[in-house]
Amino acid sequence: MIGTETSIDALSGVVLELQRKSRQPLAEDFRVFALGVLQRSLPFDSGIWGDGYIENGAPQIRSVHLHNRPAEMLADYESIKHQDPLFAAAANNPGRAVAMERAKVDVPPVLREYLIKWRLAQFMSVVLADPLTALLTSVGIWRDADDRPFSESERQLFEHALPHLLETYSTNRILRLIHAARPGNSESFARGVVDANRHLVVAPHDFVSLLIDEWPRWRGPQLPQELGCLVENHAGARFVGERVFFKSASMDGVFLIQARPRRAADELTVRELEIAEGFARGLSAKQVAKELGISTETVRDHVARIFRKLDVKNQAQMIWKIRRAP
C-alpha cells in the first residue's frame, strides 16, 4: 500500500495517462512517453528501460532504451555489469523497487568511477520477471545530486507504477505492429459503446474528445441526436460530420461506435468506397465489376464520380487519397 495520499494521487495520474495513450499508435517508442509521464510525478534526471528474457537462469537483455543518456554509457557498462549491486539486488527481489545512494554503497573502485563519470548519485531499479513466459523487464531511474535520495514514498510509487508501465507498453507495442502490418488500413479509431437508446456505456477520453470536437456544446449521457442513425441502422451505419467520421457495429445488444477525424474518402458512398478499394487492391475495372456483381460501365460511372468528389485526375491519385491518413 502506498504510504501517502499524495503518492496515491500521483500513481492514479500516471496510470490514467498511460492507459489513455497506450491505445494510440505513437510515432515514438512508448517507453519514451511512459518514462516522461513517470518523471512528472517522480522527478529523476535519467533512466534506463531494458527488455529481455531469462535463459538457463541468466538474464538476456534484448532491447534497451536510455532516457537522457548517450549510448556510450551502455558501452562503458558492459565490462562492469557483473559488479552492479543494484541490478543484483533488484533481480533477487523481483517486483520490488530497490534504491541506493552512491555515497553509501560499497562498490569496487572501477564501478565507483563509472557512477561518478555518468553522474549517477542516486539510483533506483525494479526488475519484473514472469515465471511462465520467462520474459524480463528492468527499469532504472537515476538522479545526479548527492543530496536528493529517493524517499520511501517515491520508492513505493515507482514499485506500484512499474506493472502499469509494462502492461501499457505491451498494449501499445502490439498496436504499432498491427498498424505496421496493415499500412493501407492504418487509420486510428477512438471507440465507445452505447446502448440502443444512444446512452453511453463506455466512453474513453479520446472518444469523448472527438465528440466534443464535432459538437462543442455536447454533454452526455446520450450521443448527439445526429448519431441516432448509428443505432437505428445496424449494418455498418456511418455518419460523416464536419470534422469527425463515425461508424458503428452491433455487438451483444450494444453498439460499438468508432470515431476518427474526417478525411477526403469519407465523402464517398459505401459502393464508391468498395470500388475505390478494389482498384487499390490492384483489380481492373472488369474484375471490380465481377466482384461486386455490376457492369463495367457502372464501375466507370462510379469512378468518374469518385474523381470529382476527391478532386483527383487518375487512379493513382485516387488510391493515394483514400489511403491517406486523416
Residues whose CB falls within 8 Å of the CB of residue 113, separated by 6 or more in sequence, listed in order: none
**Helices in the chain by DSSP H: which ranges?**
5-22, 30-41, 72-77, 85-91, 109-117, 152-181, 205-214, 229-232, 270-280, 285-292, 296-310, 315-323
Across the range 131-150, mean pLDDT stands at 91
Asked if 126 and 138 touch (Cβ cutoff 8 Å), the reply is: yes
Q: Per-residue pLDDT for 184 more than 60?
A: no
Please determine, for residue 5, whether its predicted confidence score (pLDDT) is greater than 80.
no
Average pLDDT, rounded, for the chain: 86
Average pLDDT of the segment spanning 169-176 = 80
Co-location of 169 and 87 in the same domain? yes
Q: Are residues 159 and 23 in the same domain?
A: yes
18 and 123 inside one domain: yes
Is 115 in the same domain as 199? no
Last residue of a domain, one of 132, 156, 181: 181
Cα-to-chain-centroid distance, residue 214: 24
The pLDDT value given to residue 178: 63
Q: Determine the average pLDDT of the residues in 84-110.
A: 91
**pLDDT of 323 above 80:** no
Q: How many CA atoms lie within 13 A of 151 on its CB side?
A: 9
CATH number of the domain encompassing residue 215: 3.40.1840
Residue 2 has pLDDT above 60, yes or no: no
pTM of the predicted structure, to 2 decimals: 0.63
Distance in angstroms between the alpha carbons of the first and the last residue of the chain: 44
Looking at the fold, whether 42 and 176 belong to one and the same domain comes out as yes
Model pLDDT, residue 118: 95
Identify the pLDDT of residue 183.
Answer: 52
pLDDT of 253 reads 80
The last residue of a domain, from among 135, 163, 181: 181
Are the C-beta atoms of 165 and 18 separated by less than 8 Å?
yes
Q: What is the CATH number of the domain that holds 299?
A: 1.10.10.10
Q: Give the end of a domain, one of 262, 295, 311.
A: 262
* b/e burial code for range 292-314 (CB count within 10 A of at least 16 → b): eebeeebbeebbeebeebbebee
Encode pLDDT of 270-308 as tens digits. 888 889 888 888 888 899 999 899 999 999 998 999 888
**pLDDT recorded at residue 217:** 93
Segments forming the whole domain that contains residue 281? 265-323
Best CA proximity match to 77, nearest among 68, 89, 64: 64
Assess contact for 147 and 63: CB atoms under 8 A.
Answer: no
Q: How many domains does the chain have?
A: 3
Q: What is the pLDDT of residue 325?
A: 44
Q: According to the model, what pLDDT value does residue 314 have?
A: 87
In the predicted model, what is the mean pLDDT of residues 137-150?
A: 95
Task: Give 319's pLDDT tier (boundaries 50, 70, 90).
Answer: confident
For residue 192, report the phi and psi dihedrals to the nearest 5 degrees: -135, 170
- Are residue 171 and residue 27 in the same domain, yes or no? yes
148 and 13 belong to one structural domain: yes
Question: Which residue blocks in 190-284 are alpha helix, DSSP H?
Answer: 205-214, 229-232, 270-280
Residues 43 and 169 in one domain: yes
**What is the CATH number for 56?**
3.30.450.80
Q: What mean pLDDT is predicted for residues 120-133?
A: 90
How far apart are the C-alpha atoms of 265 and 262, rounded to whole Å?
Answer: 8
Shared domain for 170 and 48, answered yes or no, is yes
Separation of alpha carbons 323 and 250, rounded Å: 26
Question: Is residue 97 pLDDT above 60, yes or no?
Answer: yes
Q: Are residues 289 and 231 in the same domain?
A: no
99 and 23 co-located in one domain: yes
Instruction: Report how many helices (DSSP H) and strands (DSSP E) the chain contains, helices first.
Output: 12, 10
Share of the chain above pLDDT 90, in %: 42
Q: Phi, psi (5° rounding) for residue 176?
A: -65, -40
Residues with Cβ within 8 Å of residue 238, at least 6 apart in sequence = 230, 245, 246, 247, 248, 270
Q: How confident is the model over 238-254, as pLDDT tens digits?
A: 898 999 999 888 877 88
Q: What is the mean pLDDT of residues 189-208?
A: 86
Average pLDDT over residues 168-190: 69
**Residue indicated by cell numbers 459503446:** 193
Give the whole-angstrom CA distance, residue 126 versus residue 93: 8
Q: Are residues 222 and 94 in the same domain?
A: no
